[in-house]
Structures are given as C-alpha cells and as structure tokens.
Chains A and B, each alone.
Chain A
C-alpha cells in the first residue's frame, strides 16, 4: 500500500479541493442513511444496496477522473451518482420511481446514470458491465481520444467469467481502463477468500500482464493518488490496470440483509473505528485545513441538501402510464418499423395499449 504521507500533498494543498472531498463523502453518508430510512417507509421499492463505510474507496477514485473520461459502476451506485455531481434530488427521485429521476423512473436504485457527466451506469448483473466498460475504452482508442475509463465493481465480480474476459481483452488490445475492485470483503455473505482462489485481488492481472495495486480504501487520499496515477497511465500509455481498494460495508448486502450471520459485531466495530470520513476529518483538523466547526457546518449543509432532495423527490410526479413504451427503441423509424405488428397483438408493440389493458 502506498504511504499516506506521500499521497496527501496535491489535494491538501488546495483547501477548496480538500473540503470538497469531505463534503462529497459526507453527502453520500447522509444520503444513504436517509435512503435506508426512506426504504423502511416504503417510498423506495425493489433492491437497495447501501455503501455506507465505503465512501472513500469510491469517491477517491472518481475524484481523479478528468474531462472526457468515462465511469462505470455496479448496482451499489448511489455514491457514484452523487460523486459525479448528479443532483441529489434527481437521484432520490429515481429511488422513488419518479419521472424526474436520473433514468425517468425506469432504472431505480441499481441503474443510476448521468451521461452528461460521463457516468454510464449502475449495472445489475455482477461482473457483466466489465466487458461493456472495456468496449468504452475501445471506443476511446478507436477514435484516438485521450481519455480513460474507470470501471468500479465489487470483489464478488472477480469470480465471473466476464471479468476475466474483459481483463484479457483490455490487455490484448492495450485499452485505457482502470478496473477498480472495491473490495468490501464480502460478496453478499461470502468472504473474498471463500470465492477467490487468489484473494489478493490486485494479483489477478498477472495472468494477463495487467499491473495491479492494492490500496487502503478507507484512506480517500491514498485511493485518489493511486487512481490518478493509474488513470494517467491509462491515458498516456494505453494500458489497463487493476486497483484494489480494501474497505468495508457497515450495512448488509442490501437493505434486506441485516449483515449479521456471516460476520461478528466485533469485526464491524473494528471497521467503524477506521471510518473513512472520521479519519479524513481528523486529518483535515491536524493539518489546520478545517476546524471541527467547519466540518460541522458541512454536515449541516449536506443534511439540509438531502432533506431538500427528499422533499423535492416526494413532490415530483410519477411517470405517466402513457409513457410505458417510451425509450424502448430509439431509432426514429421504430414506430413505423413496428407499425405492422399491431394486428392481433395484445402487448402494444407500437406503443399503444388495447382498451382492456388501460
């Protein structure tokens, strides 16, 4: 692991940047705590995966992205959307299934995205977005664009075939992509060493001549430094790499999992003592960058932002039923193409519903 001391200079030298990182982590933490509460109030349906405790691992790397780069993430993606700057209200609205959500209520918690901010999705099938992210890197190379892809996923993805195929293709084709394993040490309830024959995940690249690096995922500056360096290499040398960030989720796999049967309270507590936000706050204090009062003010600010996001999302409308078939196809000719399919069809292939269905 990189020595923290060597990684702090760039960010800490710029107070605005240093505080922005704190604010992002604090925003994500409050957002997810309130999300959990909103879920219990049945305002959010389906699956809902919280990343509380993992903020530094995700946000530190996203902070190293440059204009034009592309970002892909797993379904544990609330932090991802907020870190790229998607408005908290639009993210909460998506969780509520509202029309003002980032995916207009079609995606929900697992499928957030923000194409304008180059975030290409929260993906629901473990490991399957790795080949897709590899294709985005291929597009950069094909068009000779100087960008890189950051592809985040959990440790559970690293036992899938898609992961190994993606790694092989990315190396074979010299693609600018950083595969970031957010190793929270459990794929659902299965510990990393129970699902990976090589539990030191950063070493997986050896078979594909892909360099790997392991970093303390609860040290936001260490994550940022490693990600910036590897993304830089990707842009300049057109080579893939693996970045493994060791972290921990305080909550269960999803809101339906209490996270108790496969780990001890002592283990959870030991990680809480290494909390990435507390730790970074202390560092900011030590360096004289922010006082306790400064940080309290940030916490108050993000709490107010999340509160406003919830109110705004609550007030927003659900998508209209008339829009059920919207966004299924995008080619301008699609209605015409499907126009001859309606006869005898019960399911509205051309965007119309029969009377009995409405």
Chain B
C-alpha cells in the first residue's frame, strides 16, 4: 500500500469504475485532452476515448441537465464541475431537477448521477472562486452530499457514489488534491455513504469537521495534545445523510464540541450539528457548542486579508482553547 495523492485516488476510482461498468461515463469541461483543470481525469480520455470521457463546452446548466437525462435512461454519468463555484449556474438542474425527479414522479424513475466538484480556498482565487457551498446542498432532500477528507475515503466513497442509484454531490477540495495517504490496492474497497469516521480518538474535546478542515483539525489536535489535551476528531465524510450518531457518541464522552468548516458558519454544517447536539446531548454538554468557519465576507484577494478570512488552524486552536478555558481546562 504505497502512499498516493487524493487526486490519484480519485483518478484510480474513476478508472476502475469506467473499466467495470460501460454505463459509467464522464462528462465535464476540459476533462479529456486537457486532463481536467486539476488533472483528476489524467489519462482517461486516452484510455477510454471521447465517448466515455466526454468534453463539454462551458454550459454547466446544459451538461448537468444532460447528465440527468442520461441517468434517467439508466446510464451512470459522472459529471465534473470545474469548481463548486460554477455549480451555481446549474443550481436549477441540481436542486429543482436531480433532487426532485424520483419523488416528484412517484418513484417511477431515478437519477443515478454523480457530480464531482472541488471547493476550498487559500490560493488567492478571490471571491468568485473560493467558496465552500456544500451546506447549501446538504439541506436538500433527494440529494446525497459527501465530502471525503483523505485519499482512501475519496477512493472508496467515489466508488460508492457511482454505484448509488441516487444523485450524489461529491465535494472535493482544491487543497486536498495533493494530500497523500494510503489507499487499499483492493479494487473492491468501498466506503459507505452516511457513516462518519473517528479520525483520532480523545477524551477532552470533540472537533467535528469535513473535507480539508479535517486535516486542519488533526493538526490542531496534535498541537493541543502536546499540552496534554486529548482531542477527538470526527470526520463527517457525508453531510447528507449526516451521521449524527457518531458525533453524539463522541460528545457524550468528551462533553465539549467544536464544529469547524471551510464555509460560512451561518446556516452552515455547524449550525445544523449544534441543533442536533443540543437536542441529543443537552445534559452532557459542559459548554455551548462552538463553531469556526470562514469570515462572513466574499473572499478577499490580498494575502493578509485572505488569511484573515480563512478558518485556519490558528483560529480553530484558539476557539478550542477558549472553549476549554470556559470549562476550567
């Protein structure tokens, strides 16, 4: 089991699913000869040809819709949206169509579609290219939303998503693409949708995160660990369905919880979790649920301002220490 990048884990999953099932095909901008804006589809166009790795013009509404139509006919399209920021022009297809079709049509037709798209920020891409919008979709019945944080989960969850009979929004992260980790060589390895992972065990504080923020949370846990504070990190992996049980189990043990995310906190993942935690763990909490997210401004360009807006490790750590201080730790 050699270490591979998150990018390579995704590429391998796509390759194996294309090889396994001819109903699977890829669609998106620049995913062929160009190998994808972030090179996730490298080599697949050469291997599978232009029919199965279909390059599209800049028509997100058009080709997400086409993916939905092909999925209604029984194919399993995997559509790449170059970054999650561009999904907004296809919002109607995702929310008003993909999410609604099975239910609205009384269960007579389904949409086995995967939309892969990276969010994230930190490379001075500025306001229109630095968003993490996954929480918007996680509130929508009919969709499934996943956001793996490491190469093994990226590999295993992408396979699960492609084999799933419902529309799955598969959220990647620009910073995660170069993160490395071990990925099982076994082509049958999959990771279920709807099950969170305990990324690190601990007793004093739970940090809940998803996607790249899990990596940040793990580093914060290491730093706090050097001061003798034992942090448990929960990696949500899926946002819809949301594994509340794993979070609750952890909070009942640590009695303190902080939710960190790369998107805005208001109406975000932390807001949803706080509501569920207060209901399930009302008597277990030693302090109110804490949240850390991006500053609530459009992402600025200038480096010092961008750093000020990002939910960096320093902010997560400061929020954790503040919460622990409140509890006398």
Identify which of B64-72, B170-178, B254-262, B313-321 touches chain A. Answer: B64-72
- Docked complex: A155-211 residues within 8 A CB-CB of B: 161-162, 165-166, 168-169, 172-173
Could you say which residues of chain A place their CB within 8 Å of the CB of B244?
Answer: 340-345
Q: Is the Cβ of A132 less than 8 Å from the Cβ of B72?
A: yes
Q: Is the Cβ of A135 less than 8 Å from the Cβ of B56?
A: no
Q: Is the Cβ of B166 less than 8 Å from the Cβ of A169?
A: no
Residue A104 at the chain B interface, CB threshold 8 Å? yes
Nearest residue, chain A, Cβ from B277 = A344
Nearest residue, chain A, Cβ from B90 = A131
Q: Is the Cβ of A138 less than 8 Å from the Cβ of B277?
A: no
- Docked complex: B102-131 residues within 8 A CB-CB of A: 102-110
Residue A355 at the chain B interface, CB threshold 8 Å? no
27 A/B residue pairs, CB under 8 Å, sorted by A:
A103-B108, A105-B106, A106-B104, A106-B105, A113-B105, A115-B105, A120-B109, A128-B96, A128-B97, A132-B65, A132-B66, A138-B69, A139-B73, A139-B74, A165-B65, A166-B62, A166-B65, A168-B59, A169-B63, A329-B102, A331-B164, A339-B194, A340-B243, A341-B241, A341-B244, A343-B280, A344-B276
Residue A134 at the chain B interface, CB threshold 8 Å? yes
Q: Could you list which residues of chain A lie within 8 angstroms of chain B, going by C-beta atoms?
A: 70, 101-107, 111, 113, 115, 120-121, 123, 125, 128-140, 142-143, 161-162, 165-166, 168-169, 172-173, 326-334, 336-345, 349
What does the 1/0 interface line of B8-52 toward A look like (CB < 8 Å)? 000000000000000001000000000000000000000000010
Nearest residue, chain A, Cβ from B63 = A169
Could you say which residues of chain B place their CB within 8 Å of the CB of A327?
Answer: 102-103, 106-107
Complex Cα gap A138–B277 (Å) = 46
Q: Is the Cβ of A139 less than 8 Å from the Cβ of B103?
A: no
Complex Cα gap A140–B51 (Å) = 12
Could you say which residues of chain B place their CB within 8 Å of the CB of A349?
Answer: 241
Complex Cα gap A111–B105 (Å) = 7
Q: Could you list which residues of chain B lie within 8 angstroms of chain A, going by C-beta atoms?
A: 25, 51, 54, 56-57, 59, 61-75, 77, 92-93, 96-97, 101-110, 141-142, 144, 164-166, 192-196, 238, 241-246, 248, 275-280
Nearest residue, chain B, Cβ from A328 = B103
Asked if A328 meets B102 with Cβ closer than 8 Å, knowing A165-B59, A166-B65, A169-B57, the reply is yes
Q: Is the Cβ of B194 less than 8 Å from the Cβ of A341?
A: yes
Given contacts A106-B103, A129-B65, 15 further A-B contacts (CB under 8 A): A101-B106, A104-B107, A120-B109, A132-B66, A132-B69, A135-B73, A165-B59, A165-B63, A169-B57, A328-B141, A329-B102, A338-B194, A339-B241, A340-B242, A340-B243
Could you say which residues of chain A place their CB within 8 Å of the CB of B65?
Answer: 128-132, 134-135, 162, 165-166
Q: How far is the CB of A311 from chain B (nearest CB, A)?
A: 22
Complex Cα gap A87–B322 (Å) = 66
Q: How far is the CB of B24 from chain A (nearest CB, A)?
A: 11
Complex Cα gap A165–B110 (Å) = 23
Q: How far is the CB of B37 from chain A (nearest CB, A)?
A: 20
Complex Cα gap A334–B167 (Å) = 12
Q: Is the Cβ of B107 less than 8 Å from the Cβ of A131?
A: no
Q: Is the Cβ of B166 less than 8 Å from the Cβ of A107?
A: no
Q: Is the Cβ of B62 less than 8 Å from the Cβ of A107?
A: no
Asked if A106 meets B106 with Cβ closer than 8 Å, knowing A125-B96, A142-B25, A338-B241, the reply is yes
Nearest residue, chain A, Cβ from B160 = A333
Q: Is the Cβ of A139 less than 8 Å from the Cβ of B69?
A: yes
Asked if A169 meets B194 with Cβ closer than 8 Å, knowing A106-B103, A121-B105, A340-B245, the reply is no
Q: How far is the CB of A140 from chain B (nearest CB, A)?
A: 8
Asked if A337 meets B66 with Cβ closer than 8 Å, knowing A111-B105, A328-B141, A344-B248, the reply is no
Choose from A120, A133, A169 the contact partner of B59 (Cβ within 8 Å). A169
Complex Cα gap A101–B108 (Å) = 12
Q: How far is the CB of A120 from chain B (nearest CB, A)?
A: 6
Could you say which residues of chain B place their CB within 8 Å of the CB of A166?
Answer: 62, 65-66
Q: Is the Cβ of A329 less than 8 Å from the Cβ of B62?
A: no
Complex Cα gap A162–B164 (Å) = 27
Q: How far is the CB of B277 from chain A (nearest CB, A)?
A: 7
Q: Is the Cβ of B246 less than 8 Å from the Cβ of A340?
A: yes
Q: Is the Cβ of A131 less than 8 Å from the Cβ of B61?
A: yes
Complex Cα gap A340–B165 (Å) = 19
